[in-house]
Structure 1
Amino acid sequence: MKAALLTDRSVLRVTGEPARGFLHNLVTGDIETLAPGDARYAALLTPQGKIIADFFVIEAGANEGGGFFIDCPKALADELAQKLNFYKLRAKVTIQSIDTLSVLAAWDGDGSTDYGLVYHDPRLAALGLRAIVPTDLASEAVADLGATLVDASDYDAHRIALGVPRGGVDFIYGDTFPHDADLDKLNGVDFKKGCYVGQEVVSRVEHRGTARNRVVAVAFDEHPAQDGIAVMAGDKTVGTMGSSAGKQGLAMLRVDRVAEAIDAGTPLSAGGITLTLRDSAVADFLAAARVKTAG
Protein backbone atom coordinates (compact mmCIF):
# COMPACT_ATOMS: atom_id res chain seq x y z
CA MET A 1 0.00 0.00 0.00
CA LYS A 2 1.13 3.56 -0.75
CA ALA A 3 0.46 6.64 1.37
CA ALA A 4 1.02 10.35 0.77
CA LEU A 5 0.85 13.35 3.08
CA LEU A 6 -1.52 15.86 1.49
CA THR A 7 0.04 19.18 2.48
CA ASP A 8 -2.61 21.09 0.51
CA ARG A 9 -5.33 19.98 2.97
CA SER A 10 -6.43 21.40 6.33
CA VAL A 11 -8.68 20.15 9.10
CA LEU A 12 -11.56 22.02 10.70
CA ARG A 13 -13.58 20.76 13.62
CA VAL A 14 -17.25 21.44 14.30
CA THR A 15 -18.52 20.67 17.79
CA GLY A 16 -21.62 21.32 19.86
CA GLU A 17 -24.91 19.50 20.34
CA PRO A 18 -26.58 21.03 17.22
CA ALA A 19 -23.53 20.37 14.98
CA ARG A 20 -25.12 17.51 13.03
CA GLY A 21 -28.26 19.40 12.08
CA PHE A 22 -26.30 22.59 11.48
CA LEU A 23 -24.06 20.92 8.87
CA HIS A 24 -26.86 18.83 7.38
CA ASN A 25 -28.94 21.93 6.64
CA LEU A 26 -26.05 23.69 4.88
CA VAL A 27 -24.12 21.20 2.75
CA THR A 28 -24.94 18.98 -0.23
CA GLY A 29 -24.40 15.67 1.58
CA ASP A 30 -26.51 13.78 4.12
CA ILE A 31 -24.95 14.36 7.54
CA GLU A 32 -27.97 13.13 9.50
CA THR A 33 -27.17 9.46 8.73
CA LEU A 34 -23.40 9.78 9.17
CA ALA A 35 -21.92 7.35 11.72
CA PRO A 36 -18.68 7.65 13.73
CA GLY A 37 -15.67 6.83 11.56
CA ASP A 38 -17.58 7.31 8.30
CA ALA A 39 -17.19 10.21 5.85
CA ARG A 40 -19.38 12.14 3.44
CA TYR A 41 -18.12 14.02 0.42
CA ALA A 42 -20.02 17.30 0.22
CA ALA A 43 -19.83 20.97 -0.69
CA LEU A 44 -20.98 24.33 0.58
CA LEU A 45 -22.62 26.30 -2.21
CA THR A 46 -23.55 29.88 -2.90
CA PRO A 47 -27.29 30.63 -3.02
CA GLN A 48 -26.85 30.50 -6.83
CA GLY A 49 -25.69 26.88 -6.55
CA LYS A 50 -21.96 27.32 -7.22
CA ILE A 51 -19.25 25.58 -5.19
CA ILE A 52 -17.60 27.66 -2.45
CA ALA A 53 -15.62 24.62 -1.23
CA ASP A 54 -15.82 20.84 -1.46
CA PHE A 55 -14.66 18.71 1.46
CA PHE A 56 -15.13 15.56 3.52
CA VAL A 57 -17.19 15.55 6.71
CA ILE A 58 -16.11 12.82 9.15
CA GLU A 59 -17.93 12.06 12.36
CA ALA A 60 -15.57 11.63 15.30
CA GLY A 61 -16.29 8.88 17.80
CA ALA A 62 -16.45 9.38 21.54
CA ASN A 63 -12.77 8.41 21.86
CA GLU A 64 -11.88 11.27 19.47
CA GLY A 65 -13.96 13.74 21.48
CA GLY A 66 -17.07 13.67 19.29
CA GLY A 67 -18.18 16.29 16.81
CA PHE A 68 -17.19 16.41 13.16
CA PHE A 69 -13.91 16.87 11.33
CA ILE A 70 -13.85 18.62 7.95
CA ASP A 71 -11.01 17.62 5.60
CA CYS A 72 -10.85 20.61 3.23
CA PRO A 73 -8.50 22.47 0.85
CA LYS A 74 -5.95 24.45 2.87
CA ALA A 75 -6.33 27.47 0.59
CA LEU A 76 -10.05 27.65 1.46
CA ALA A 77 -9.96 26.65 5.14
CA ASP A 78 -10.23 30.19 6.53
CA GLU A 79 -12.97 31.16 4.07
CA LEU A 80 -14.93 27.98 4.82
CA ALA A 81 -14.67 28.58 8.57
CA GLN A 82 -15.89 32.16 8.07
CA LYS A 83 -18.84 31.02 5.97
CA LEU A 84 -19.84 28.38 8.53
CA ASN A 85 -19.59 30.96 11.32
CA PHE A 86 -21.77 33.30 9.26
CA TYR A 87 -24.50 30.67 8.97
CA LYS A 88 -24.42 29.47 12.56
CA LEU A 89 -26.27 32.58 13.83
CA ARG A 90 -27.19 31.66 17.42
CA ALA A 91 -26.57 27.94 17.08
CA LYS A 92 -24.32 26.70 19.88
CA VAL A 93 -21.65 25.23 17.64
CA THR A 94 -17.93 25.90 17.56
CA ILE A 95 -15.86 25.88 14.36
CA GLN A 96 -12.10 25.59 14.82
CA SER A 97 -9.09 25.16 12.58
CA ILE A 98 -6.88 22.37 13.97
CA ASP A 99 -3.33 23.23 12.89
CA THR A 100 -1.80 20.20 14.60
CA LEU A 101 -3.62 17.71 12.34
CA SER A 102 -2.78 16.62 8.79
CA VAL A 103 -4.43 14.50 6.11
CA LEU A 104 -3.00 11.31 4.62
CA ALA A 105 -4.24 9.44 1.55
CA ALA A 106 -3.50 5.70 1.21
CA TRP A 107 -4.32 3.36 -1.67
CA ASP A 108 -3.60 -0.05 -3.19
CA GLY A 109 -4.46 -1.83 0.03
CA ASP A 110 -6.33 -1.57 3.32
CA GLY A 111 -5.31 -0.94 6.88
CA SER A 112 -5.86 0.96 10.10
CA THR A 113 -3.82 2.93 12.59
CA ASP A 114 -4.01 3.89 16.25
CA TYR A 115 -2.39 7.21 15.37
CA GLY A 116 -5.39 8.79 13.67
CA LEU A 117 -8.93 8.59 12.31
CA VAL A 118 -9.07 6.44 9.15
CA TYR A 119 -11.98 6.54 6.72
CA HIS A 120 -12.71 5.22 3.24
CA ASP A 121 -12.81 7.85 0.52
CA PRO A 122 -16.56 8.19 -0.12
CA ARG A 123 -16.14 9.43 -3.70
CA LEU A 124 -14.84 6.21 -5.24
CA ALA A 125 -13.76 2.96 -3.60
CA ALA A 126 -10.66 2.71 -5.81
CA LEU A 127 -9.33 5.97 -4.34
CA GLY A 128 -8.63 4.07 -1.13
CA LEU A 129 -8.35 5.46 2.38
CA ARG A 130 -7.82 8.83 3.98
CA ALA A 131 -6.71 9.54 7.54
CA ILE A 132 -6.62 12.54 9.84
CA VAL A 133 -3.47 12.22 11.94
CA PRO A 134 -1.35 14.38 14.26
CA THR A 135 1.21 16.07 12.02
CA ASP A 136 4.13 15.04 14.23
CA LEU A 137 3.02 11.39 14.11
CA ALA A 138 2.38 11.14 10.36
CA SER A 139 5.38 8.82 9.78
CA GLU A 140 4.23 6.53 12.58
CA ALA A 141 0.71 6.46 11.12
CA VAL A 142 2.05 5.49 7.68
CA ALA A 143 4.09 2.64 9.19
CA ASP A 144 1.12 1.53 11.30
CA LEU A 145 -1.02 1.36 8.15
CA GLY A 146 1.59 -0.91 6.61
CA ALA A 147 2.13 1.60 3.81
CA THR A 148 5.12 3.09 2.01
CA LEU A 149 5.33 6.88 2.10
CA VAL A 150 5.40 8.40 -1.40
CA ASP A 151 5.18 11.91 -2.80
CA ALA A 152 1.83 13.69 -3.10
CA SER A 153 2.36 13.75 -6.89
CA ASP A 154 1.91 9.96 -6.85
CA TYR A 155 -1.49 10.41 -5.28
CA ASP A 156 -2.36 13.02 -7.91
CA ALA A 157 -1.44 10.51 -10.64
CA HIS A 158 -3.68 7.91 -8.94
CA ARG A 159 -6.56 10.40 -8.74
CA ILE A 160 -6.16 11.53 -12.35
CA ALA A 161 -6.03 7.93 -13.60
CA LEU A 162 -9.42 7.40 -11.92
CA GLY A 163 -10.84 10.58 -13.47
CA VAL A 164 -11.45 12.36 -10.15
CA PRO A 165 -11.15 16.18 -10.27
CA ARG A 166 -9.42 18.42 -7.76
CA GLY A 167 -10.86 21.83 -6.97
CA GLY A 168 -8.75 24.83 -7.87
CA VAL A 169 -7.06 22.90 -10.69
CA ASP A 170 -9.77 21.00 -12.55
CA PHE A 171 -12.59 23.37 -11.66
CA ILE A 172 -12.78 26.92 -10.34
CA TYR A 173 -14.23 27.57 -6.90
CA GLY A 174 -16.99 30.15 -6.89
CA ASP A 175 -17.73 29.64 -10.59
CA THR A 176 -18.64 25.95 -10.92
CA PHE A 177 -21.87 24.05 -10.34
CA PRO A 178 -21.71 20.61 -8.61
CA HIS A 179 -22.68 18.72 -11.78
CA ASP A 180 -19.91 20.49 -13.73
CA ALA A 181 -17.36 19.17 -11.21
CA ASP A 182 -18.89 15.65 -11.22
CA LEU A 183 -20.05 15.82 -7.60
CA ASP A 184 -23.25 14.07 -8.65
CA LYS A 185 -21.20 11.11 -9.91
CA LEU A 186 -18.85 11.07 -6.90
CA ASN A 187 -21.45 10.86 -4.12
CA GLY A 188 -21.06 14.56 -3.36
CA VAL A 189 -24.76 15.43 -3.61
CA ASP A 190 -27.67 13.71 -1.88
CA PHE A 191 -30.73 14.29 -4.05
CA LYS A 192 -33.12 12.83 -1.47
CA LYS A 193 -32.31 15.13 1.44
CA GLY A 194 -34.15 18.34 2.21
CA CYS A 195 -33.11 21.91 1.61
CA TYR A 196 -29.57 23.24 1.79
CA VAL A 197 -27.94 26.37 0.42
CA GLY A 198 -28.19 26.33 -3.41
CA GLN A 199 -30.38 23.22 -3.45
CA GLU A 200 -32.99 24.52 -5.90
CA VAL A 201 -30.43 25.14 -8.65
CA VAL A 202 -28.78 21.74 -8.16
CA SER A 203 -32.12 19.91 -8.22
CA ARG A 204 -33.19 21.73 -11.38
CA VAL A 205 -30.01 20.68 -13.22
CA GLU A 206 -30.44 17.09 -12.03
CA HIS A 207 -34.08 16.79 -13.04
CA ARG A 208 -33.62 18.45 -16.43
CA GLY A 209 -30.33 16.73 -17.24
CA THR A 210 -28.92 20.06 -18.41
CA ALA A 211 -25.35 20.14 -17.05
CA ARG A 212 -23.56 22.49 -19.43
CA ASN A 213 -20.00 21.39 -18.57
CA ARG A 214 -18.28 18.27 -17.27
CA VAL A 215 -14.83 17.40 -15.97
CA VAL A 216 -13.76 14.54 -18.22
CA ALA A 217 -10.80 12.14 -18.29
CA VAL A 218 -8.58 12.62 -21.34
CA ALA A 219 -5.45 11.00 -22.74
CA PHE A 220 -2.51 12.19 -24.88
CA ASP A 221 -0.10 10.39 -27.18
CA GLU A 222 2.58 12.99 -26.46
CA HIS A 223 3.64 14.94 -23.37
CA PRO A 224 0.76 16.35 -21.26
CA ALA A 225 -1.02 19.51 -22.28
CA GLN A 226 -0.45 22.42 -19.89
CA ASP A 227 -3.17 23.05 -17.33
CA GLY A 228 -5.29 26.13 -17.92
CA ILE A 229 -4.93 26.21 -21.70
CA ALA A 230 -7.91 26.02 -24.03
CA VAL A 231 -9.19 22.73 -25.43
CA MET A 232 -10.10 23.15 -29.10
CA ALA A 233 -12.27 21.31 -31.61
CA GLY A 234 -10.95 22.69 -34.87
CA ASP A 235 -11.11 26.47 -34.41
CA LYS A 236 -13.75 26.35 -31.64
CA THR A 237 -12.94 26.50 -27.93
CA VAL A 238 -14.71 23.63 -26.15
CA GLY A 239 -13.12 23.67 -22.71
CA THR A 240 -10.03 24.04 -20.54
CA MET A 241 -7.27 21.63 -19.53
CA GLY A 242 -6.91 20.73 -15.87
CA SER A 243 -4.42 18.49 -14.09
CA SER A 244 -2.38 15.79 -15.81
CA ALA A 245 0.11 13.03 -15.03
CA GLY A 246 1.98 11.02 -17.62
CA LYS A 247 -0.26 10.58 -20.64
CA GLN A 248 -3.53 11.09 -18.75
CA GLY A 249 -5.34 14.19 -17.60
CA LEU A 250 -8.62 15.91 -16.86
CA ALA A 251 -10.38 18.70 -18.73
CA MET A 252 -13.48 20.83 -18.13
CA LEU A 253 -15.43 20.50 -21.38
CA ARG A 254 -18.65 21.95 -22.81
CA VAL A 255 -21.08 19.07 -23.29
CA ASP A 256 -22.86 20.36 -26.39
CA ARG A 257 -19.74 21.55 -28.22
CA VAL A 258 -17.83 18.31 -27.63
CA ALA A 259 -20.86 16.24 -28.68
CA GLU A 260 -20.97 18.22 -31.94
CA ALA A 261 -17.24 17.61 -32.47
CA ILE A 262 -17.67 13.87 -31.87
CA ASP A 263 -20.57 13.65 -34.32
CA ALA A 264 -18.56 15.61 -36.91
CA GLY A 265 -15.39 13.56 -36.37
CA THR A 266 -13.45 16.69 -35.36
CA PRO A 267 -10.46 15.87 -33.10
CA LEU A 268 -9.84 17.68 -29.82
CA SER A 269 -6.52 19.34 -29.03
CA ALA A 270 -4.83 21.54 -26.43
CA GLY A 271 -1.70 23.51 -27.22
CA GLY A 272 -1.34 21.54 -30.44
CA ILE A 273 -1.49 18.19 -28.61
CA THR A 274 -4.27 15.79 -29.66
CA LEU A 275 -6.61 14.68 -26.88
CA THR A 276 -8.82 11.62 -26.75
CA LEU A 277 -11.66 11.07 -24.30
CA ARG A 278 -11.12 8.17 -21.91
CA ASP A 279 -13.48 5.44 -20.80
CA SER A 280 -17.20 6.11 -21.31
CA ALA A 281 -16.83 9.86 -21.81
CA VAL A 282 -17.82 9.72 -25.49
CA ALA A 283 -21.08 7.91 -24.80
CA ASP A 284 -21.81 10.19 -21.82
CA PHE A 285 -21.34 13.32 -23.92
CA LEU A 286 -23.57 12.11 -26.72
CA ALA A 287 -26.26 10.92 -24.33
CA ALA A 288 -26.24 14.22 -22.41
CA ALA A 289 -26.39 16.26 -25.60
CA ARG A 290 -29.36 14.22 -26.87
CA VAL A 291 -31.23 14.65 -23.57
CA LYS A 292 -30.65 18.41 -23.76
CA THR A 293 -31.84 18.51 -27.38
CA ALA A 294 -34.94 16.47 -26.57
CA GLY A 295 -35.73 18.78 -23.64
Structure 2
Amino acid sequence: MDCSLFTRHLVEDILVLPSLGGCGLPEHELAEQAPAFLLECDSAVLGALETHLALYRIRRKVVVEPCPELRVWALLPDCPEEVCGAALLRERTDRTSVLTPDPRTARMGWRLLIRDEGLVPVPRGRLGDPRDYHRHRYQQGVPEGVRDLPPGVALPLESNLAFMNGVSFSKGCYIGQELTARTHHMGVIRKRLFPVQLLGPVPEDGIALGAPVLTESGQAAGKYRAGQGDVGLALLRAEKIKGPLHIRTSNSGQVALTVSVPDWWPTVAK
Protein backbone atom coordinates (compact mmCIF):
# COMPACT_ATOMS: atom_id res chain seq x y z
CA MET A 1 0.00 0.00 0.00
CA ASP A 2 1.42 3.38 -1.02
CA CYS A 3 0.54 6.52 0.92
CA SER A 4 0.46 9.58 -1.27
CA LEU A 5 0.64 11.89 1.73
CA PHE A 6 1.76 11.58 5.32
CA THR A 7 1.25 14.94 6.91
CA ARG A 8 1.20 16.53 10.34
CA HIS A 9 -2.27 17.91 10.96
CA LEU A 10 -1.64 21.10 12.89
CA VAL A 11 -5.07 22.61 13.51
CA GLU A 12 -6.43 20.00 15.89
CA ASP A 13 -6.21 19.23 19.58
CA ILE A 14 -7.29 16.25 21.65
CA LEU A 15 -9.55 15.99 24.66
CA VAL A 16 -9.76 12.84 26.73
CA LEU A 17 -12.95 12.16 28.68
CA PRO A 18 -12.41 9.46 31.35
CA SER A 19 -15.70 7.64 31.91
CA LEU A 20 -17.16 5.24 34.45
CA GLY A 21 -18.87 3.35 31.66
CA GLY A 22 -17.52 1.32 28.78
CA CYS A 23 -14.51 2.37 26.79
CA GLY A 24 -14.97 4.05 23.44
CA LEU A 25 -11.49 3.07 22.25
CA PRO A 26 -9.93 -0.12 20.93
CA GLU A 27 -7.40 -1.82 23.17
CA HIS A 28 -4.16 0.15 23.12
CA GLU A 29 -1.76 1.87 25.45
CA LEU A 30 -4.08 4.80 26.25
CA ALA A 31 -6.59 2.43 27.83
CA GLU A 32 -4.18 1.32 30.55
CA GLN A 33 -5.16 4.09 32.99
CA ALA A 34 -8.95 4.31 32.77
CA PRO A 35 -11.79 3.78 30.31
CA ALA A 36 -11.92 6.88 28.14
CA PHE A 37 -13.16 8.53 24.99
CA LEU A 38 -10.89 10.60 22.79
CA LEU A 39 -12.37 13.66 21.12
CA GLU A 40 -10.54 15.48 18.36
CA CYS A 41 -11.40 19.17 18.07
CA ASP A 42 -10.32 22.45 16.53
CA SER A 43 -7.65 23.86 18.87
CA ALA A 44 -9.04 27.39 18.34
CA VAL A 45 -12.07 26.49 20.47
CA LEU A 46 -10.49 24.02 22.87
CA GLY A 47 -11.22 26.13 25.96
CA ALA A 48 -14.80 26.84 24.93
CA LEU A 49 -15.41 23.15 24.26
CA GLU A 50 -14.04 22.14 27.65
CA THR A 51 -16.38 24.63 29.33
CA HIS A 52 -19.33 23.45 27.26
CA LEU A 53 -18.76 19.76 28.03
CA ALA A 54 -18.34 20.52 31.73
CA LEU A 55 -21.92 21.82 31.80
CA TYR A 56 -23.22 18.35 31.00
CA ARG A 57 -21.28 16.38 33.59
CA ILE A 58 -24.11 16.95 36.11
CA ARG A 59 -23.08 14.82 39.15
CA ARG A 60 -21.19 12.11 37.32
CA LYS A 61 -17.53 11.50 38.03
CA VAL A 62 -16.36 12.46 34.59
CA VAL A 63 -13.19 14.45 33.98
CA VAL A 64 -12.66 16.47 30.81
CA GLU A 65 -9.03 17.32 30.16
CA PRO A 66 -6.75 18.04 27.17
CA CYS A 67 -4.02 15.65 26.05
CA PRO A 68 -1.24 17.96 24.80
CA GLU A 69 1.18 15.04 24.58
CA LEU A 70 -0.75 13.50 21.69
CA ARG A 71 -0.02 14.45 18.09
CA VAL A 72 -2.61 14.10 15.33
CA TRP A 73 -1.62 13.09 11.81
CA ALA A 74 -3.65 12.56 8.67
CA LEU A 75 -2.66 9.64 6.49
CA LEU A 76 -3.94 9.78 2.91
CA PRO A 77 -3.72 6.77 0.57
CA ASP A 78 -3.24 6.79 -3.18
CA CYS A 79 -6.52 4.89 -3.47
CA PRO A 80 -9.42 5.46 -1.03
CA GLU A 81 -10.22 1.74 -1.18
CA GLU A 82 -6.94 1.00 0.61
CA VAL A 83 -8.35 1.78 4.06
CA CYS A 84 -7.97 -1.95 4.80
CA GLY A 85 -4.21 -1.34 4.67
CA ALA A 86 -4.43 0.05 8.21
CA ALA A 87 -3.69 -3.45 9.50
CA LEU A 88 -0.31 -3.35 7.77
CA LEU A 89 0.43 0.09 9.19
CA ARG A 90 -0.52 -1.05 12.69
CA GLU A 91 2.03 -3.83 12.47
CA ARG A 92 4.79 -1.65 11.09
CA THR A 93 4.24 1.48 13.22
CA ASP A 94 5.23 0.46 16.72
CA ARG A 95 4.78 3.93 18.26
CA THR A 96 1.13 4.25 17.26
CA SER A 97 -1.32 5.01 20.05
CA VAL A 98 -4.41 5.12 17.84
CA LEU A 99 -4.69 4.28 14.17
CA THR A 100 -8.20 4.23 12.74
CA PRO A 101 -9.97 4.95 9.44
CA ASP A 102 -11.22 8.52 9.29
CA PRO A 103 -14.92 8.11 10.24
CA ARG A 104 -16.06 10.83 7.82
CA THR A 105 -15.27 9.10 4.52
CA ALA A 106 -12.76 6.65 3.09
CA ARG A 107 -11.54 9.51 0.88
CA MET A 108 -9.86 10.97 4.00
CA GLY A 109 -7.76 7.88 4.78
CA TRP A 110 -6.79 7.44 8.45
CA ARG A 111 -6.27 9.40 11.65
CA LEU A 112 -3.02 8.58 13.43
CA LEU A 113 -2.33 9.59 17.04
CA ILE A 114 1.10 9.27 18.60
CA ARG A 115 2.70 10.48 21.82
CA ASP A 116 6.02 11.93 20.71
CA GLU A 117 7.24 14.66 18.36
CA GLY A 118 9.30 12.46 16.06
CA LEU A 119 8.33 11.22 12.63
CA VAL A 120 6.47 7.94 12.46
CA PRO A 121 7.93 5.46 9.95
CA VAL A 122 5.17 4.56 7.49
CA PRO A 123 5.90 1.99 4.78
CA ARG A 124 6.14 3.65 1.35
CA GLY A 125 4.85 6.92 2.82
CA ARG A 126 6.06 10.46 2.24
CA LEU A 127 5.80 13.54 4.40
CA GLY A 128 3.50 16.23 3.03
CA ASP A 129 2.54 19.78 3.87
CA PRO A 130 -0.63 20.60 5.86
CA ARG A 131 -1.77 22.74 2.93
CA ASP A 132 -1.87 19.58 0.81
CA TYR A 133 -4.13 17.97 3.40
CA HIS A 134 -6.55 20.91 3.42
CA ARG A 135 -6.57 21.12 -0.36
CA HIS A 136 -7.43 17.42 -0.53
CA ARG A 137 -10.34 17.68 1.92
CA TYR A 138 -11.76 20.76 0.18
CA GLN A 139 -11.70 18.84 -3.09
CA GLN A 140 -13.55 16.01 -1.35
CA GLY A 141 -16.11 18.40 0.15
CA VAL A 142 -15.13 17.70 3.77
CA PRO A 143 -15.59 20.67 6.15
CA GLU A 144 -13.48 20.83 9.30
CA GLY A 145 -13.05 23.24 12.20
CA VAL A 146 -14.78 26.49 13.07
CA ARG A 147 -13.60 28.25 9.91
CA ASP A 148 -15.60 25.86 7.73
CA LEU A 149 -18.34 25.24 10.31
CA PRO A 150 -18.84 28.50 12.23
CA PRO A 151 -20.73 27.94 15.51
CA GLY A 152 -24.27 29.27 15.46
CA VAL A 153 -24.24 29.51 11.66
CA ALA A 154 -23.57 26.07 10.19
CA LEU A 155 -26.51 23.64 10.32
CA PRO A 156 -25.67 19.91 10.55
CA LEU A 157 -27.64 18.70 7.54
CA GLU A 158 -26.68 21.61 5.30
CA SER A 159 -23.05 20.87 6.24
CA ASN A 160 -23.50 17.21 5.16
CA LEU A 161 -22.63 15.89 8.63
CA ALA A 162 -25.22 13.14 8.19
CA PHE A 163 -23.04 11.78 5.35
CA MET A 164 -19.98 11.74 7.63
CA ASN A 165 -21.29 9.86 10.67
CA GLY A 166 -21.77 13.20 12.41
CA VAL A 167 -25.51 13.03 13.20
CA SER A 168 -27.53 10.33 14.96
CA PHE A 169 -31.24 9.95 14.15
CA SER A 170 -31.79 7.25 16.77
CA LYS A 171 -30.14 8.75 19.87
CA GLY A 172 -31.24 11.81 21.83
CA CYS A 173 -31.61 14.18 23.23
CA TYR A 174 -29.33 16.94 21.93
CA ILE A 175 -29.75 20.62 21.23
CA GLY A 176 -31.39 21.08 17.83
CA GLN A 177 -32.45 17.44 17.57
CA GLU A 178 -36.10 18.18 16.79
CA LEU A 179 -35.34 20.50 13.88
CA THR A 180 -32.57 18.23 12.55
CA ALA A 181 -34.71 15.08 12.71
CA ARG A 182 -37.75 16.77 11.15
CA THR A 183 -35.69 18.16 8.27
CA HIS A 184 -34.06 14.78 7.69
CA HIS A 185 -37.31 12.81 7.61
CA MET A 186 -38.99 15.37 5.37
CA GLY A 187 -36.12 14.88 2.94
CA VAL A 188 -36.02 18.54 1.90
CA ILE A 189 -32.59 20.11 2.22
CA ARG A 190 -32.46 23.04 -0.16
CA LYS A 191 -28.91 24.18 0.58
CA ARG A 192 -25.72 22.20 1.06
CA LEU A 193 -21.98 22.74 1.36
CA PHE A 194 -20.52 21.87 -2.04
CA PRO A 195 -16.86 21.68 -3.08
CA VAL A 196 -16.07 24.45 -5.55
CA GLN A 197 -13.13 25.37 -7.74
CA LEU A 198 -12.36 28.95 -8.68
CA LEU A 199 -11.58 29.60 -12.33
CA GLY A 200 -9.18 32.31 -13.39
CA PRO A 201 -6.91 34.50 -11.25
CA VAL A 202 -7.75 34.58 -7.53
CA PRO A 203 -7.12 37.93 -5.75
CA GLU A 204 -3.98 38.04 -3.61
CA ASP A 205 -6.08 38.51 -0.47
CA GLY A 206 -8.25 35.54 -1.46
CA ILE A 207 -12.03 35.36 -1.44
CA ALA A 208 -13.79 36.92 1.55
CA LEU A 209 -15.51 34.41 3.79
CA GLY A 210 -19.25 34.69 3.28
CA ALA A 211 -18.93 36.38 -0.12
CA PRO A 212 -22.15 36.01 -2.15
CA VAL A 213 -22.15 33.45 -4.96
CA LEU A 214 -24.22 34.73 -7.87
CA THR A 215 -25.79 33.26 -10.99
CA GLU A 216 -25.08 34.61 -14.46
CA SER A 217 -28.06 36.96 -14.11
CA GLY A 218 -26.92 38.21 -10.70
CA GLN A 219 -29.34 36.21 -8.56
CA ALA A 220 -28.13 34.90 -5.22
CA ALA A 221 -27.14 31.22 -5.31
CA GLY A 222 -25.46 30.99 -1.91
CA LYS A 223 -22.32 32.03 -0.05
CA TYR A 224 -18.66 31.15 -0.18
CA ARG A 225 -17.83 29.52 3.15
CA ALA A 226 -14.05 28.93 3.19
CA GLY A 227 -11.20 27.65 1.10
CA GLN A 228 -7.56 27.62 0.15
CA GLY A 229 -6.21 28.91 -3.13
CA ASP A 230 -8.54 27.92 -5.95
CA VAL A 231 -10.53 25.29 -4.02
CA GLY A 232 -13.04 25.66 -1.23
CA LEU A 233 -16.56 25.11 0.03
CA ALA A 234 -19.70 27.11 -0.67
CA LEU A 235 -23.17 26.85 0.82
CA LEU A 236 -25.34 26.77 -2.29
CA ARG A 237 -28.94 26.17 -3.30
CA ALA A 238 -28.99 22.73 -4.90
CA GLU A 239 -31.06 23.87 -7.90
CA LYS A 240 -28.46 26.54 -8.78
CA ILE A 241 -25.26 24.50 -8.93
CA LYS A 242 -25.43 23.51 -12.61
CA GLY A 243 -25.58 27.01 -14.05
CA PRO A 244 -22.70 29.48 -14.49
CA LEU A 245 -21.75 30.96 -11.11
CA HIS A 246 -19.37 33.68 -10.01
CA ILE A 247 -18.17 35.70 -7.01
CA ARG A 248 -17.59 39.44 -7.11
CA THR A 249 -14.21 40.42 -5.70
CA SER A 250 -13.20 43.45 -3.64
CA ASN A 251 -11.59 45.12 -6.66
CA SER A 252 -14.88 45.13 -8.62
CA GLY A 253 -13.89 42.06 -10.61
CA GLN A 254 -15.43 38.62 -10.59
CA VAL A 255 -14.20 35.05 -10.38
CA ALA A 256 -16.12 32.21 -12.00
CA LEU A 257 -16.48 28.94 -10.13
CA THR A 258 -17.57 25.39 -10.82
CA VAL A 259 -19.38 23.11 -8.41
CA SER A 260 -18.88 19.37 -8.03
CA VAL A 261 -20.84 16.67 -6.20
CA PRO A 262 -18.54 14.26 -4.31
CA ASP A 263 -18.77 10.68 -5.57
CA TRP A 264 -18.80 9.34 -2.00
CA TRP A 265 -22.09 11.08 -1.15
CA PRO A 266 -25.19 8.85 -0.93
CA THR A 267 -27.04 8.60 -4.23
CA VAL A 268 -30.13 10.23 -2.72
CA ALA A 269 -28.23 13.50 -2.32
CA LYS A 270 -26.95 13.72 -5.89
TM-score tier after normalising by the smaller chain length: 0.7 to 0.9
For 2:65 and 2:123, how far apart are their aligned partners in 1? 27
1:4 corresponding residue in structure 2: 7
Q: What SS does the aligned partner of 2:161 have?
A: coil
Secondary structure of the residue aligned to 1:126 is helix
Post-superposition Cα deviations, 1:102-144, rounded to whole Å, max 9, x if no partner, equal 211111164233322111101101200112222xx24332x24
Aligned to 1:249: 232
Q: Which amino acid letter does the alignment assign opposite residue 234 of structure 2?
A: A
Matched residue type, 1:130: R
Paired residue for 1:62?
31
Q: Does 1:270 align with 2:247?
A: yes
Partner of 1:96: 65
1:148 to 105, 126, 147: 126
Counterpart residue number, 1:13: 16
Asked whether the equivalents of residues 121 and 129 of structure 1 are also in contact (C-alpha less than 8 Å), the reply is yes
Is 1:87 the counterpart of 2:56? The answer is yes
Pair 1:192–1:60, CA change in 2 (3 A): farther
* RMSD of aligned alpha carbons: 2.9
Q: Percent identity at matched positions?
A: 28
Whole-angstrom CA distance in 2 between matches of 1:242 and 1:98: 30
The amino acid that maps onto 1:244 is G
2:94 matched to which residue of 1?
A: 114
Q: CA deviation at 1:207?
A: 1.0
Distance 1:104 1:221, change over 3 A: same
Q: Deviation digits for residues 15-58 of structure 1, max 9, x if unmatched?
A: 030477xxxxxxxxxxxxx5526xxxxxxxxxxxxxxxxxxxxx
Which ranges of structure 2 fall in alignment gaps of 5 or more residues? Answer: 79-84, 249-253
Structure 1 residue matching 2:55: 3-state secondary structure: helix
Over 3 Å counting, the alpha-carbon distance change for 1:150 and 1:227 in structure 2 is: farther
> Pick from 118, 138, 141: which aligns with 1:139?
118
TM-score by length of 1: 0.72
Which residue number corresponds to residue 82 of structure 2? none
Give, in whole Å, the separation in 2 of the partners of 1:145 and 1:188. Answer: 31
3-state DSSP of counterpart to 1:107: strand
Distance in 2 (CA, whole Å) between partners of 1:231 and 1:269 is 6
Give deviations 1:216-240, integer Å, cap 9, x for gaps: 0122332456141221123223222
Q: Aligned equivalents of 2:55 and 2:142: distance in 1? A: 30
Letter of the structure 2 residue corresponding to residue 36 of structure 1:
P
| 1:273 Cα deviation after fit | 1.3
1:209 alignment partner in structure 2: 187
Aligned-partner SS, 2:169:
coil
1:231 to 213, 216, 228: 213
- Check whether the contact 1:167–1:173 (CA below 8 A) recurs between aligned residues: no
In 1, Cα distance between equivalents of 2:31 and 2:179:
37
Which AA in structure 1 matches 2:108? L
TM-score norm. by structure 2 comes to: 0.78
Q: How many residues align?
A: 243
How far off its partner does 1:65 sit?
4.5
Deviation at 1:61, TM superposition (A): 6.0
Contact 2:14-2:66 at 8 Å conserved across structures: yes
Q: Is the Cα–Cα contact under 8 Å of residues 25 and 31 in structure 2 kept in the other structure?
A: no
| Other structure's SS at 1:218 match | strand
Match of 1:73 among 42, 65, 71: 42
Structure 1 pair 126/275, CA: closer, same or farther in 2 (3 Å)? same
Higher mean displacement: 223-232 or 4-13: 223-232
CA distance, structure 2, for counterparts of residue 129 and residue 260 of structure 1: 34
The answer to whether the 8 A contact 1:5-1:152 is kept is yes
> Is 1:170–2:148 an aligned residue pair?
yes
Q: Do the aligned residues in 1 keep the contact of 2:197 with 2:259 (CA within 8 Å)?
A: yes
State the SS of the aligned residue for 1:270: strand
Q: Residues 73-103 of structure 1, C-alpha deviation per residue, up to 9 Å, x if partnerless? A: 0011111111111111101111001122221
- 1:246, distance to aligned residue in structure 2 (A): 5.5
Opposite residue 190 of structure 1, the aligned amino acid is: S
Any conservation in 1 of the 2:194–2:261 contact (CA below 8 Å)?
no
Q: Is the 8 A contact 1:18 1:92 kept in 2?
A: no
1:60 Cα deviation after fit: 7.8
One-letter code of the match for 1:72?
A: C
